[in-house]
Chains A and B, each alone.
Chain A
Amino acid sequence: MKRAPTHSYPGINLGERHASAHKATEVVTFGFWVFLMSDLVYFGLMFATYITMIDAQAGGPGPHELFDLKSVFAQTLILLTSSLTVGLAMLALKYNLPRGRIVLWFGVTLLLGISFLVLEVRDFMAMAEKGGIPQRSGFLSAFFGLVPLHGVHVAAGCLWLIVLGIQLHVKGMTDVVISRVVRLALFWHFLDLIWIGIITIVYFGGLTYG
């Protein structure tokens, strides 16, 4: 069942130091990529829905009244930084640094993830105060169908960070755990990419065309 090919997979190549984990990770990482592609279609369709509904404001508040670019900018910085910290955790893994180092970078990522979510929820509440609730118009439905969907993914990523942190602590660096770290990192970078799409299409696009 397990063949002996080159064991290279898109993600992080663990290499010599992790021979058995390296091998065990190939198939699951590839599978996870396929999953991400499917998820990407999901987001793509929500983006498309948003684009078709930018003008469907039904006389309600639109992007100019509702969007707070300063907060969005802060969220962007936070999320990009968290991608950096996940990257640092991955390097710690690749070069076999003590497990504490990975946990540390996980902790920082978690904090960044949570601050991102806090800012995002604050934004939503501010929008609601100005009458920008999803029930108000097609445009707002589309906005609240897309942006919080990303938020839910971030929240899931946070939960995953916690669970995996515990597993690192309890189980140590088993092959299974290592492979999960690799996938978590992929997931986290993926969320960053989606966010870039959100600032470009939802916020900038909204302000330009809405």
Chain B
Amino acid sequence: MTSPGTGFFGRLNWDALPVTGLIQNPNANEIVANAAAAIVLVGVVVVVGLLSWFRLWTPLWRDWLTSVDHKKIGIMYVVFAIVMLARGVLEGVVMRAQQAAGPGDGFLEAEHFAELFSTHGTIMIFFVAVPFVFGIANYVVPLMIGARDVAFPRLNQISLGLTVSSGMMLMVSLVVGRFSTGGWTAYPPYTGAAFNPGVGPDYWIWAIVVSGVGTTLTGINFAVTIYKMRAPGMTFMRLPMYCWTIICSSILIVFAMPPLGVAALLLAADRYLDFHFFTNDLGGNMMNYANLFWLFGHPEVYLLVLPAYGIYSEVFATFSAKRLYGYNSLVIATMSIAVLSFTVWLHHFFTMGQSALINAVFGIATMLIAIPTGVKVYDWMATLWRGRIRFSVPMLYGLAFLMLFVIGGLSGVILANPTVDYQVHNTLFLVAHFHNVLLPGVLFGLLAAYNYWFPKAFGFRLNEFWGRVTVALWTVGFLLTFMPLYFVGLMGMPRRSFSYDDPSFHPFMIVAIVGALVITCALFSVLIQLWVSIRDREKTRVPVGDPWDGRTLEWSIPSPPPPYNFAIIPTVTDRDDFAAAKDKGAAYPTPDAYEDIELPRNTGIGFVLCVLSGVWMFALVWWIWWLAALMTVLMILVVIVWTFDDSTELTIPAEEVRKDHEAWLARVHGEKAVDRDFETSPENRGLARPDLEVIT
């Protein structure tokens, strides 16, 4: 064997494969590891096989991988997020099973358990929540503001490419080598070279750095899109609430991703170049890492939850057939939360030895966030108040959110008190708290968005029955899995522990695993709902485009929308412009004239960068220096060459736009408007008969 890092393949050798471990030492732990690797490989084979069997390679390349259409990019983000969600949830279940096995050592080794919570956390935050949030935003935002695309469509494709390639690194780490055991926060010095000479932390570092670049570009893109691309007349105070939350979240990205990049790259400098930023010796200081990381980490949770707030705002308004109550206060609350989120990061290390005064200041700052959040909750309740409420699937998610999120938020206020935090710090109480905000807050919001905008994207509604089943399963599963953790947390059970010996924890762990299994059912239920809906799609088509009696611009165009979104860019005169137009009987106007439309042409740059950055990360992880250097040069060259390409626009002739649009208008006028009570019946073809506006 060559000495590490000197050979042609760097430090890569046969020991990196999980099979080697299985052969040398067959036990339950190795079997689980190999099964995971096998699932990845089988997954790849199945996907490749299906694509070849149905001859889908060409359409995949032509219509999707090279597309710069924000709608398709959004859909690809969401698909990616759901695949990663499946992996993340299953890892959660394995961890719960380990602890449910009772006092003693369970069936996993400590290392393996540590890998599980590290990948689980990393995946859920960076490769489920973030891509899901921005997948939905990609689809919806340009439609809501009356734009033809985002500000930088090609950059958008590159962002997707970078996110996917770094997500793939987590998949690769199942098969080749091991992922980090340092948790999603990867605190040094534990993740430094002295304690962790292996590849694990390096996988984490590069996946974080590259996906961070992708996310930053997305943030810039959406901030500029909402700022600059709004349709004429859409002033900021007419901006749909969802767009407000996305612009705030984009600003959070622009300012919060750099700290993460700095933290990860400095850690890389320590590991690769023997620097001393965070080491124990020679002046290194790990507290700098804690500050940098949480300077990102805390805004991150708001970056995720604000868009969910936006989604709920739209959902509550639509399904109560009312204007959103307290729009101005919601805007102010959103912005206050965005700002405050940068002032509280230190609550993540109250116990790490700063003065009581500093802890008190940050504790109070943290509690302040409860004020704007409370404002929001009351505004939502007032929106429901005396509305004509329909209990559709997105609304059910919304109601579950309202009730459960308040519990999660309150437990956060409890944690914000440093003296309490000293007691429950690093126990399962914390785990219960953050899952309590992440599941009913972020994940339910995203699933609501998925149900709400699905008919817009694909032209047919999702199955209502299975939708309801899914909501019920997620809610019950969530309650069973995470509520017991508050109790064991108070009893002192530490987080991240693969074994325990206090038998009084055991019953709670049993409840939690039952809950985790219910959540697994919820995950399957999502897939069943999709499958059933695709099967029955002929009965649920909504070509006219407004199945829910929507209020904002995206509902005023066909489902699915044409590549150019709007045949004529609308002129906005009101908040909830489309609802106002319907009220006045002025919806679906016939334009006087049509114009040629310019759209960005397809390009492969995002895909190429996805592949190159993937190989680059792999080379860096395994110290294959020549390959890393080669990829660096190639990436730079590819981008330079690409900037020489001028043929970037594609023109859709006015005539074609006219034909499509007139055909659709004819359909609108031919269709029978459907009352809200028959919203879920096959009669609903997407032409809503509006409810009378209830007194607000």
Query: Which residue of chain B lies nearest to A55 when distances are taken between CB atoms in the complex?
Result: B283
Query: Which residue of chain B lies nearest to A174 when distances are taken between CB atoms in the complex?
Result: B646
Are the CB atoms of A30 and B224 closer together than 8 Å? yes
Q: How distant is the Cα of A163 from the Cα of B269 in the complex, in angstroms?
A: 30
- In the complex, which residues 619-661 of chain B have their Cβ closer than 8 Å to any Cβ of chain A? 636, 640, 643-644, 646
Query: Which residue of chain A lies nearest to B251 when distances are taken between CB atoms in the complex?
Result: A34
- Nearest Cβ distance between residue B152 and chain A, in whole angstroms? 6
Is A150 in contact with chain B by the CB < 8 A criterion?
Answer: no
Is B259 in contact with chain A by the CB < 8 A criterion?
Answer: yes
- Nearest Cβ distance between residue B280 and chain A, in whole angstroms? 11
Are the CB atoms of B277 and A141 closer together than 8 Å? yes
Q: Please, how many residues of chain A have a CB less than 8 angstroms from a CB on the other chain?
A: 42
Are the CB atoms of B277 and A37 closer together than 8 Å? no
- Nearest Cβ distance between residue A18 and chain B, in whole angstroms? 18
Q: How distant is the Cα of A35 from the Cα of B213 in the complex, in angstroms?
A: 11
Contact string against A for B residues 226-261, beta-carbon threshold 8 Å, 1 for contact and 0 otherwise: 011100100000000000000000000011011101
Contacts of A145 in B (CB 8 A): 266, 269, 275, 277
Using known A-B contacts A30-B227, A145-B275, determine if residue A53 contacts B283 with beta carbons closer than 8 Å. yes
**In-complex Cβ contact of A42 among B258, B273, B275 (8 A):** B258
Are the CB atoms of B285 and A53 closer together than 8 Å? yes
Contacts of B257 in A (CB 8 A): 38
Is B696 in contact with chain A by the CB < 8 A criterion?
Answer: no
Contacts of B261 in A (CB 8 A): 42
Contacts of A109 in B (CB 8 A): none
Contacts of B277 in A (CB 8 A): 49, 53, 138, 141-142, 145
Are the CB atoms of B285 and A56 closer together than 8 Å? yes
Q: How distant is the Cα of A26 from the Cα of B151 in the complex, in angstroms?
A: 11
Is A205 in contact with chain B by the CB < 8 A criterion?
Answer: no
Are the CB atoms of B285 and A52 closer together than 8 Å? yes
Are the CB atoms of B643 and A35 closer together than 8 Å? no
Is B292 in contact with chain A by the CB < 8 A criterion?
Answer: yes
Contacts of B219 in A (CB 8 A): 38
Are the CB atoms of A138 and B258 closer together than 8 Å? no
Contacts of B229 in A (CB 8 A): 1, 27
- Nearest Cβ distance between residue B609 and chain A, in whole angstroms? 17
Q: How distant is the Cα of A38 from the Cα of B227 in the complex, in angstroms?
A: 17
- Nearest Cβ distance between residue B297 and chain A, in whole angstroms? 14
Is B148 in contact with chain A by the CB < 8 A criterion?
Answer: yes
Contact string against A for B residues 213-226, beta-carbon threshold 8 Å, 1 for contact and 0 otherwise: 00010011101100
Contacts of B636 in A (CB 8 A): 159
**In-complex Cβ contact of B643 among A34, A138, A140, A163 (8 A):** A163
Q: How distant is the Cα of A185 from the Cα of B56 in the complex, in angstroms?
A: 46
- In the complex, which residues 133-190 of chain B have their Cβ closer than 8 Å to any Cβ of chain A? 147-149, 151-152
Query: Which residue of chain B lies nearest to A57 when distances are taken between CB atoms in the complex?
Result: B283
Is A139 in contact with chain B by the CB < 8 A criterion?
Answer: yes
Is B274 in contact with chain A by the CB < 8 A criterion?
Answer: yes
Contacts of A170 in B (CB 8 A): 644
Are the CB atoms of A137 and B288 closer together than 8 Å? no
- In the complex, which residues 166-190 of chain A have their Cβ closer than 8 Å to any Cβ of chain B? 167, 170-171, 174, 176, 180
Q: Looking at chain B's contact residues, is the secondary structure mostly helix, strand, loop, or mixed?
A: helix
Using known A-B contacts A1-B229, A49-B288, A52-B285, determine if residue A134 contacts B152 with beta carbons closer than 8 Å. no
Q: How distant is the Cα of A137 from the Cα of B282 in the complex, in angstroms?
A: 5
**In-complex Cβ contact of B275 among A31, A34, A134 (8 A):** A134
Contacts of B254 in A (CB 8 A): 34, 37-38, 41
Is A17 in contact with chain B by the CB < 8 A criterion?
Answer: no
- For chain B, give the interface size range: 35 or more
Is B284 in contact with chain A by the CB < 8 A criterion?
Answer: yes
Contacts of B228 in A (CB 8 A): 26-27, 30
Are the CB atoms of A31 and B220 closer together than 8 Å? yes
Query: Which residue of chain A lies nearest to B233 when distances are taken between CB atoms in the complex?
Result: A3
- Nearest Cβ distance between residue A33 and chain B, in whole angstroms? 9
Contacts of B16 in A (CB 8 A): none
- In the complex, which residues 67-120 of chain A have their Cβ closer than 8 Å to any Cβ of chain B? none
Are the CB atoms of B282 and A136 closer together than 8 Å? yes
Are the CB atoms of B646 and A176 closer together than 8 Å? yes
Is B276 in contact with chain A by the CB < 8 A criterion?
Answer: yes
Is A45 in contact with chain B by the CB < 8 A criterion?
Answer: yes
Query: Which residue of chain A lies nearest to B277 when distances are taken between CB atoms in the complex?
Result: A141
Contacts of B295 in A (CB 8 A): 45
Using known A-B contacts A27-B224, A34-B254, A176-B646, determine if residue A134 contacts B273 with beta carbons closer than 8 Å. yes
Using known A-B contacts A1-B229, A45-B262, determine if residue A138 contacts B220 with beta carbons closer than 8 Å. no
Are the CB atoms of A1 and B147 closer together than 8 Å? yes
Are the CB atoms of A138 and B646 closer together than 8 Å? no
Which has the most chain B C-beta neighbours within 10 Å: A35, A38, A42, A170? A38
- Nearest Cβ distance between residue A137 and chain B, in whole angstroms? 5
**In-complex Cβ contact of B232 among A3, A30, A35, A174 (8 A):** A3
Contacts of A34 in B (CB 8 A): 220, 223-224, 254
Q: How distant is the Cα of A41 from the Cα of B263 in the complex, in angstroms?
A: 13
Are the CB atoms of B220 and A45 closer together than 8 Å? no
Contacts of B273 in A (CB 8 A): 134-135
Contacts of B275 in A (CB 8 A): 134-135, 141, 144-145
Contacts of A31 in B (CB 8 A): 151-152, 220-221, 224
Is B339 in contact with chain A by the CB < 8 A criterion?
Answer: no
Are the CB atoms of A38 and B147 closer together than 8 Å? no
Contacts of B259 in A (CB 8 A): 41, 45
- Nearest Cβ distance between residue B644 and chain A, in whole angstroms? 7
- Nearest Cβ distance between residue B673 and chain A, in whole angstroms? 31
- Nearest Cβ distance between residue B65 and chain A, in whole angstroms? 24
Is B569 in contact with chain A by the CB < 8 A criterion?
Answer: yes
Are the CB atoms of B220 and A167 closer together than 8 Å? no
Using known A-B contacts A27-B151, A137-B282, A138-B283, determine if residue A38 contacts B266 with beta carbons closer than 8 Å. no
Query: Which residue of chain A lies nearest to B269 when distances are taken between CB atoms in the complex?
Result: A145
Contact string against A for B residues 193-226, beta-carbon threshold 8 Å, 1 for contact and 0 otherwise: 0000000000000000000000010011101100
Are the CB atoms of A45 and B258 closer together than 8 Å? yes
**In-complex Cβ contact of B276 among A39, A42, A135, A176 (8 A):** A135
Q: How distant is the Cα of A1 from the Cα of B234 in the complex, in angstroms?
A: 12
Using known A-B contacts A45-B258, A45-B292, determine if residue A1 contacts B282 with beta carbons closer than 8 Å. no
- Nearest Cβ distance between residue B409 and chain A, in whole angstroms? 28
Contact string against B for A residues 44-63, beta-carbon threshold 8 Å, 1 for contact and 0 otherwise: 01100100110011101000
**In-complex Cβ contact of B282 among A38, A46, A58, A144 (8 A):** A58
Query: Which residue of chain A lies nearest to B255 when distances are taken between CB atoms in the complex?
Result: A41
Contact string against B for A residues 134-167, beta-carbon threshold 8 Å, 1 for contact and 0 otherwise: 1111111110110000000000000100010001
Q: How distant is the Cα of A1 from the Cα of B646 in the complex, in angstroms?
A: 20
- Nearest Cβ distance between residue B325 and chain A, in whole angstroms? 31
Q: How distant is the Cα of A35 from the Cα of B221 in the complex, in angstroms?
A: 9
Are the CB atoms of A138 and B148 closer together than 8 Å? no
Given contacts A163-B640, A163-B643, could you give 5 more A-B pairs where the C-beta distance is less than 8 Å?
A27-B151, A38-B219, A134-B275, A135-B275, A171-B646
* A-B residue pairs, 7 tightest by C-beta: A138-B283, A56-B283, A41-B258, A141-B275, A58-B283, A1-B148, A58-B282
Q: Which B residues have a C-beta under 8 Å from some C-beta of A? A: 147-149, 151-152, 216, 219-221, 223-224, 227-229, 232, 254-255, 257-259, 261-262, 266, 269-270, 273-277, 281-285, 288, 292, 295, 569, 636, 640, 643-644, 646
Listed A/B pairs (24) with beta-carbon separation below 8 Å: A30-B228, A31-B151, A31-B224, A34-B220, A34-B223, A35-B220, A37-B255, A38-B219, A38-B255, A38-B257, A45-B258, A45-B259, A49-B266, A49-B277, A53-B277, A135-B274, A138-B276, A138-B282, A139-B283, A141-B275, A141-B276, A141-B277, A145-B277, A167-B644
